[in-house]
Structure 1
């Protein structure tokens, strides 16, 4: 497929403030060291460092302890390798190797052990085990239950992406939007930040339609914005898992026209978010029985979503080379991708 001509990413006019942890650069270096230590990356370490996992973690974590920022940055490093490795297997037609890895990850998440012997584990499984133990140790039972739900949903969405790339029929825009909420890999990371902030919202709050509307609109805004940033690579390698590409295909628009359409959708979704936030507190206040400390935690959680929206946007624009790297724009694999990673025993 032809390479996409360079285009300016629109300003999405996110009406939120943001600050970055002063030790974000240190967290970024630690995350790279962790990935190298677990042999998720063995070459092109500088390119991997330039993704800026620590900078993203430092922008979206609010006032969490530094140790939480490092842990989140390490999880992000793992998730980028997971995503890139999955892409490699799609390109090479080796997806059969993927199932044992994701089965081992899911088994460990559910039981705290894996039927694989230590000698058979590969870097993705070993890295997940190290992270999972530390992540769950810092979570309340309720947050841990959501994390245990979100990780398999994330893995399943990668299978859906692979199916989309091999299918003759493209997913509809609505099908894609629902899948993208999980393939963005945001929800487990949001669980981690919530735990790091000491927020422990009961499940009945998360189940409120008004709360779900806030969370879903935030995830959509981040995901759709990322689709604009990542369009050059995905267009170049024929990946149809992109909102811009799907709108272009289904609606018969040029790619520049589809970018503008996504920009308009993001602006409308920002309005949805603001309205959903207002409705949420109207619902809470109408109940009249909520403990003030719980209401304060709901407020902190909502503010965290705002940190995610603006923080992810700023990171992609100014602190991450992933979306501007020449290899990426040409649709090539990252230089740090290990072709043998899944086969490593």
Structure 2
């Protein structure tokens, strides 16, 4: 059974078996899971949205959408967001996975022209989403829909920051495209820098503010403790994804994985690389626990007796709570989602939920 029971309770007891090589007892003990009470409705509405936006064929949605657990992930990552904000984030997350799959299929089937068309369309849709809501490519139209909705929650200033951050994500995906086509495995440092973009570290951090219902001023958002806590949350998530994805990505001839870079450029054996990735992941957890305390003290200092100070203090505390939620949500997602169950696939290099025709093949 999944670790999230099918109920509207805000906590859940893990019942999912975790392989020893992927087990992190500190997460299971110190980071209790939370589930947004809107989750059952969220799952239903995102499933409907995937159909309406034609991001997956009906038969794929029926067979795989719930088992991929995309809504479970976001309901755990942003457990206190307003319902409409969480719905927009969950649909955007589902879109992001679909985009990642298209990117992968364009590489596997050597479709550079198709990828470049998509890349340029996403850039323009990001800057003028209303004009792309009926784009002929469902992936572009769905992206425009996500952007329009998310832009409605915060300010124009926040929107411009989100757009700047996502333009960089698109370009990072383009670098990944060329690396994979040419078989280039980046060095560890180059990979870590690229991963911060392809995992969209700063997008998910921007969405902390939408979830908290308040845009943070620069001196708060860029405070060293706050920024460090946010980065550690995302580094943990990206590197744990690398650890769990390693069999899938080796099977698919991937070149972007911390473990693969360690093997190629640091001369490590597979077992050594896995141990090193685990070490880095666990350090993220211990460092977060330490900086979390500093960030909460910073939140206390913001409450200076004024209304604005109290609101900022509350917003920072909300953001830190959401950062903490990412650890358990990401951890359990990787052991429940069909996205990582490579051993159950007929072809270890081709996910069963991927439709090549929908991905652009003729």
Corresponding residue number in structure 2 for 1:13:
26
CA distance 1:274–1:265, shift in 2 (3 Å): same
Corresponding residue number in structure 2 for 1:306:
324
CA distance in 1, matches of 2:301, 2:213: 26
Deviation at 1:253, TM superposition (A): 2.1
**Pairing 1:166–2:181 present:** yes
CA contact (8 A) 2:237 2:330 kept: yes
Corresponding residue number in structure 2 for 1:25:
40
Corresponding residue number in structure 2 for 1:61:
78
CA contact (8 A) 2:76 2:329 kept: yes
**Pairing 1:296–2:311 present:** no
Q: Compare 21-30 and 174-183 and name the one that shifted more.
A: 21-30
CA contact (8 A) 1:233 1:330 kept: no
1:146-185 map, 5 Å? 146-185=161-200
Name the SS of the counterpart of 1:171 in structure 2: coil
Q: 221, 225, 245: which is aligned to 2:260?
A: 245
Q: 251, 264, 285: which is aligned to 1:236?
A: 251
How many residues align structurally? Answer: 337
Normalised to the residue count of structure 2, the TM-score between the two structures is 0.83
Normalised to the residue count of structure 1, the TM-score between the two structures is 0.87
Q: Deviations over 1:100-120 (max 9, x none)?
A: 222222212223455x795x6
Q: Deviations over 1:183-240 (max 9, x none)?
A: 1135334433431321321123222333322221111011000111111110111102
**Pairing 1:200–2:218 present:** no
Deviation at 1:127, TM superposition (A): 0.5
Name the SS of the counterpart of 2:167 in structure 1: helix
Corresponding residue number in structure 1 for 2:108:
91
CA contact (8 A) 2:212 2:315 kept: no
Pairwise CA RMSD: 2.8
CA distance in 1, matches of 2:222, 2:88: 27
Q: Which runs of 5+ in 2 are unaligned?
A: 1-18
